[in-house]
Amino acid sequence: MAAEGTVLGWEDILVIIGYFVSVIIVGILSSCRNRGSVKGYFLAGRSMHWIPVGASLFASNIGSGHFVGLAGSGAASGIGIAVFELNAIFILMILGWFFVPVYTAAGVFTMPEYLRKRFGGQRIRIYLSVLALLLYVFTKLSADLYSGALFITLSFKDLNLYVAIIIILAIAAVFTITGGLTAVIWTDFIQVVIMIIGAFILMIMSFIRVGGYEAIIKKYFDAWPDTTRENYANIYGNYSYGKCGIPPENSMHLIRAPDDGSLPWPGIMFGLTISSVWYWCSDQVIVQRALAAKNISNAKAGTILAGYLKFLPLWLIVFPGMISRILFPNEVACADPDRCEEICGSRAGCTNIAYPKLVLEIMPAGLRGLMLSVMMSALISSLTSIFNSSSTIFTMDIWCRIRKNASDVEMMIVGRVCVVILVVISVLWIPVVQNVSELFHYIQAITSFLAPPICAVYVLAVFWKRINEQGAFWGLMIGLVVGLTRFIWEYVYSVPPCGESEKDMRPDIISKVHYLHFGILLFGIVFIATTVISLLTEPIDDCHLHRLTFWNRYSTAQRIDIEDNESKEDLTKSAPTHGPIVEAYSADLPWYKKAFQWICGIEKMTDHPQMTDEEIRALEEKQNSIHEKKIWKMVLNVNAIMLMTLAVFIWGFYA
C-alpha cells in the first residue's frame, strides 16, 4: 500500500534501496583498481573490454532526459523523434573507424588536447574547454536534473522539485567522487542491464494494455484531450489535423516534409548528422569511453554494441510514450494552457510527463520501484559521465594552464570542485528548462546553435592537414558569434502556447528557420571561413602532424609538437609531480584526513613505483597502437556493415 503523499508502496521503496546499495558497492569495489592516478581516474587505465565500453557509450547517452524527452516527443508527434537514435548508429561507426584511431594514435586524454597537438597554441584548447562546459550546463546537466526530479516529484507528490534535485546530486556524487572513470564505466554496465530489463517489462505491459501494435497506430490518432473534442464536437468526421491536442498526420513517418515544423527531412539528413558528429566523435563524455578501451579492436567492438543498443529506444521509450498519450489523453496531451499549468506546471504542454505517468499508473507495486530505479539508473549514468568528463576537461585543459606545477593531488581535488560549480549553474538554469514543451527538442536546439562550429573544425582537423591554427580559431570565433546570436535571440522571446499564435512576437528567422536547418547554415559558414583563412596563412609543417590526421595515423616518424609561448622548461614544470608532494599525504595522519584523502582517491599514490623514461615510452606505444589482427578487423567490418544495413531497413520501413 502506498504511503500518503506518494504513489509508491513499501515494496517499491525496498527495491529502490536495494538497487542503490548494490550499485554503490559495485562502483566502490571497481574503483579501487585505478583510483590512485590521474590516468586511472580519468581514462580507466585504458584497460576496458568492448562490452563495458559499448554499454557505457549507450548509458552515457541514454539519461533520464531521453526517457522523458523521447517519450514526450513520441506522445506529441509519433515515432519521428526516433530518427535521432537511428542516425546515431551510422555516426558511431564513424567514431570507431575514423576518429578513435586518430585520437588513440595521437595519445591524448581529452578532445581539446587533441586540437592542442594538432594546431599548437592554447587559445583553441581553452576556448573549446570552456564551450564544452557550457554545453554540459545547458543541454545535459540541467535537462537531466530536471527530468529526473520530474519523475521523483510525480512519485512523491509532496516533494519539492529542488529537494528532489538535491537527492539526485547526492547519489551521483557518491559514484563520481570516489571512483573515477573505472567506477563510472562498470556502474554504467550494471545500469544498462537493469535499464533494458525494466524498460522492456514496461513496454510489454504497455503493448498488452493498449491492445498490441496495430491498436497503437489506430488509437494514437484518436487520442484527443476532452477540451479538443468539445471544441470540435459539432463537426465530427471533419477534423483538421495540426490543431491543438490533435496528433499530426505524419506521426508514423520517419521522413517528413521539408517544411515540417518538427522534423523536416533536410534537417534530419544533414543538420542532425552535423550535431551527431560533434556529439559522438568530439564530445568528451562519449569519446572518453572509447579511449578507455584496451585496444582499437575493443573500441570498435564497443561502438558496434552501442549501435545495436540504439535500436532499442524506438521500442522501449518512443512507443510507450505514444501509449501514454492513448491511455491518459487529458493529462499527457492537454492543449489548454491553463489546464496544462495545473497538471504539470507548464503552459506549453505536458507531454514530458508521458513516461513517468505510464510507469506510475500501469505497473504493479515492486515493478514501479524497479522502473524508478531504471530511471534513476539512466540519470545517474548520465550525470556521473558528465561529472567525470567535465572535471577532466577543466583539470587537464584549463587548470594546468593556470597552475603549471599542480600535483596529482591538487588536480584531482580541483576537478571535484569544478563539478560543484557546474551543478550550481545548472540548477539555476532549470526554470528555463521547466518551461519548454518538448525537452528533447530543447536539447537538440541548443546543440544546433553551439556545436556545428566545433564539428566543422574537428572534421577538417582530422581529414585535411592544410587546416592551421589561424583558420580553426577564427572559424570558431565566427561560429560562436553567429551561434550565440541565434541562441540569445531564441530565448529573448517566449513561444506562445498552442492556439495563441497571434501572440507570437518572434521574427521569421526564429519562428520559421528550424534549428536543424540553422545548424546546416552555421556548419557551412565555419567550414568555408576556416578553409579560406587557412589557405591565406602559413601551413603547418608535416613534422608536426605525424599521427594527427586520418591519412597519416600509422606514421612511425617522431612528431615534433608545435611550439607555443611556453618554453620546454615550462612544459616540464607543468607535468604532474610525484615524490615529496605526494609523500606529504602518505604520512601518519588523523583518521579524518585519511578519510578525506580516500574520498579524493589519494590514498594509493605512494604505491605506484617511479617508471623510467624507457618504460614510460614503451607503455605509451602499447596503449597508443592502432594495429589490429586481420581476423578481428574482418569480423568487425562485417558486423559494422550488418548493423548499418539493418538501420537502413528500419529507416526505410517507416519512411
The model's pLDDT over 6-28, given as tens digits with 9 standing for 90+, comes to: 567 788 888 888 877 776 676 56
Q: Output DSSP code: residue 577.
A: P
Q: Give the pLDDT band (50/70/90) at residue 528.
A: very high
- How far the first Cα of the chain sits from its last, in Å, is 46
Q: Helix, strand, coil % (nearest 5) of the chain? A: 75, 0, 25
pLDDT at 42 over 50: no
Percentage of residues in the chain with pLDDT exceeding 90? 36
Site of grid cell 573507424: 97
Q: Output DSSP code: residue 476.
A: H
Mean per-residue pLDDT, 450-472: 95
- Picking from 126-140, 174-188, 406-420, 430-444, which range would have the lowest pLDDT averaged per residue? 174-188
Cβ neighbors of 367 (< 8 A, separation 6 or more) are 198, 201
Residue 177: inside a domain: yes
pLDDT at 33: 53
pLDDT at 222 over 80: yes
Percentage of residues in the chain with pLDDT exceeding 70? 78
Average pLDDT score over the chain: 80
Task: Report d(CA 355, CA 321) in Å as an integer.
Answer: 6
> What is the tens place of the pLDDT at every residue in 478-508?
999 999 999 888 878 777 766 666 666 778 7
> What is the tens place of the pLDDT at every residue in 172-204?
766 655 554 455 566 666 767 777 888 899 999
Residue 587: inside a domain: no
Q: How many domains does the chain have?
A: 1
Residue 635: inside a domain: yes
pLDDT at 576: 41
pLDDT at 225 over 50: yes
- Residue 116 structural domain: 10-231+288-433+546-577+625-644
What is the amino acid identity at position 154? L
pLDDT at 162: 78
> What is the tens place of the pLDDT at every residue in 610-632?
555 554 555 555 556 678 889 99
Mean per-residue pLDDT, 40-63: 72
Residue 63: inside a domain: yes
What are the helix and strand counts (H, E) for the chain? 35, 0
Taking the CA of residue 385 as centre, how many other CA atoms within 13 Å lie in the half-sphere pointing to its CB? Answer: 34
Cβ contacts of 571-575, under 8 Å, gap ≥ 24: 573/404, 573/405, 574/400, 574/404, 574/405, 574/406
pLDDT at 605: 43
pLDDT at 45 over 90: no
Residue 210: inside a domain: yes
Residue 206: inside a domain: yes
> What is the tens place of the pLDDT at every residue in 270-311?
999 999 999 999 987 788 888 888 889 999 999 999 999 999
b or e along 175-196 (b: 16 or more beta carbons within 10 Å of the residue's beta carbon)?
bbbbbbbbbbbbbbbbbbebbb
Residue 454: inside a domain: no
- φ, ψ dihedrals at 351, nearest 5°: -65, -20
pLDDT at 97 over 90: yes
Q: Give the pLDDT band (50/70/90) at residue 566.
A: very low
More confident call, 169 vs 328 = 328
Q: Give the pLDDT band (50/70/90) at residue 464.
A: very high
pLDDT at 149: 81
Any idea what the CATH number is for the domain that residue 165 is in?
A: 1.20.1730.10
pLDDT at 132: 80
Q: Give the pLDDT band (50/70/90) at residue 418.
A: confident
pLDDT at 615: 47
Taking the CA of residue 101 as centre, how many other CA atoms within 13 Å lie in the half-sphere pointing to its CB? Answer: 20
Residue 483: inside a domain: no
- Picking from 75-84, 186-195, 509-518, which range would have the lowest pLDDT averaged per residue? 186-195
pLDDT at 240: 40
Q: In a 3-state reduction of DSSP, which class is residue 553?
A: coil
With 0-12 / 13-18 / 19 or more C-beta atoms within 10 angstroms meaning exposed / middle / buried, residue 593 is exposed
More confident call, 163 vs 231 = 163
The dihedral built from the CA positions of residue 604, 609, 611 and 617, taken in this order, carries a sign that is negative
Bridge partners of 6?
156
Mean per-residue pLDDT, 520-540: 96
pLDDT at 177: 55
More confident call, 65 vs 104 = 104
